[in-house]
Structure 1
Amino acid sequence: MAHLIGLIRVITINDEELLNLHGKLIERAFPELRVISRSIEDQPKGIYDRESEEKAKPKILRLAREFEKQGVEAVVISCAADPAVGEARKELKIPVIGAGSAAASIALSLGERIGVLNLTEETPGIIKRILGKHLVAEAKPRGVENTLDLLTDQGKNAARKALEELLDNNVDVILLGCTGYSTIGFAKIAEEIARIPVVDPVIASGAVTLSVLRQRSCLIKT
């Protein structure tokens, strides 16, 4: 039986196909999960700095509460900064998974020297805290200021150049520090260029969610 999970997009999306894209990525990778996606309102550029993150938090919390009332088994917040994850965990009785902490945890299982490809100047705080000394390099695409910029050819080319900068630091794992990279399917491109493991934050969030739900199911049965 499939596990029903709710996924929160932290950018306002009116296009149904684009809204469901992250959920579809998770469902293809993990057929045991069925994903319902919703997006926050009035943030067409998503989260790209501290101010936009604070503005998004109450909206994310409201959607998380609604998902729990709807009966989902877990909530995924599809953003590498893990906005409102801590707050939601305090309120909800079901697991709340952040894409950033999920990606960082998986990256640590793959190597010692992690390079993070960010959207903006700094690596998200939650990723920094988890990686600790294993975060050895970080880079961002020049001219990219928000997730919409990644959808352009210029943004994708800039991401490739930033990836090459990371590889000059002798990293053994690349962590994509924005779920916008999942939207454009950049993990596959990055692996072809880098020839080392690349952690996609959306896929990572699905992997962690399924692992948590399997553990909960086993505990209930025993």
Structure 2
Amino acid sequence: MNKIKVGLIRVFTTSDENILNAHANLLLSNFKNMDIETKCIPDQPEGIHDDETEKIAVPKIVNLAKEFESKGVDVIFISCAADPGVEECRKLLRIPVIGAGSACAALAYSLGNKIGVLGITEEAPEIMKKVLKEKFVCSIKPEDVNTTLDLFKEEGRKNALKAAKLLKEKGCDTIALGCTGMSTVGIYKEIEKSLNIRVIDPVLAAGLVISYLNF
């Protein structure tokens, strides 16, 4: 079986190779049918965390996607739960373009009935709410977690767990992570273990979609 060539786009700027390749490493440790190259957009060290930073990021994402396509990748994966640039890229590219948010929400919809979103914005990403439809219960942003960088702090991690507990208390049977920074810090297993609730990781959900291309 030939491996799927994936162009993975990170929507924040980093020179730390471990952080840059964290999502590729997560995918490769769970899916053996991929060959992944990762690039990050320039000049956005805090990534995307509101409408303005998303607006600035989209042209950069499109440029990277076009660059990847010209190099012969089979699929583009935009590793952000807001799916920034996904629709724009689909209009311009001939290859599939997958967003982490819609992939995560689609898997959560398939597995759960009452779904909560845990993210870094006051509202769940619009694409996730659109996919979840009537199964969406609510979203919660952890206290003092405003950007992806806050998730790397111990306090941010603790507050994310507290917020996940609140989602369960509100009746959610499934939690969809609304930020791929939570994939970077690997928090989904910790939430599942401590709360005994199903948690959908957006990067792994996208990996399932990408793998389907090899069937």
1:174, 1:62 → 2: CA distance?
Answer: 32
2:195, 2:154 → 1: CA distance?
Answer: 20
1:194, 1:114 → 2: CA distance?
Answer: 15
SS at structure 1 position matched to 2:146: coil
Alpha-carbon deviations, 1:170-193, whole Å to 9, x = none? 111110000010010001101112
How far did residue 158 of structure 1 move?
0.8
1:214 match: 214
1:163 match: 164
1:86, 1:122 → 2: CA distance?
Answer: 20
1:103 match: 104
One-letter identity of the residue aligned with 1:18: I
2:24 match: 23
1:40 match: 41
Q: Which moved more, 1:17-26 or 1:43-52?
A: 17-26
Alpha-carbon deviations, 1:7-51, whole Å to 9, x = none? 000000111121111011111111101110000000000000000
- Is 2:48 the counterpart of 1:52? no
1:142, 1:52 → 2: CA distance?
Answer: 21
Stretches of structure 1 lacking an aligned partner (at least 5 in a row): 216-222
2:81, 2:138 → 1: CA distance?
Answer: 17
2:111, 2:161 → 1: CA distance?
Answer: 22
1:194 match: 195
1:113 match: 114
2:93 match: 92
Alpha-carbon deviations, 1:123-176, whole Å to 9, x = none? 000001011111012111101110001100110011011111101111111100
1:89, 1:78 → 2: CA distance?
Answer: 15
1:219 match: none
How far did residue 120 of structure 1 move?
1.3
2:97, 2:191 → 1: CA distance?
Answer: 28
SS at structure 2 position matched to 1:120: coil
1:172, 1:33 → 2: CA distance?
Answer: 31
- Is 2:141 the counterpart of 1:140? yes
SS at structure 2 position matched to 1:7: strand
Stretches of structure 2 lacking an aligned partner (at least 5 in a row): none
How far did residue 194 of structure 1 move?
2.3
TM-score relative to the length of structure 2: 0.98
1:160, 1:184 → 2: CA distance?
Answer: 12
2:182 match: 181
Q: Give the number of equivalent residue pairs.
A: 214
Alpha-carbon deviations, 1:48-83, whole Å to 9, x = none? 000000000000000000000000000000000000
Tell me how large the CA RMSD over aligned residues is: 0.8
Query: 1:1-20 to 2 correspondence within 5 Å?
Result: 1-20=2-21
- 2:4/2:214 contact within 8 Å kept: no
TM-score relative to the length of structure 1: 0.95
How far did residue 214 of structure 1 move?
2.3
1:194, 1:27 → 2: CA distance?
Answer: 27
SS at structure 2 position matched to 1:214: coil
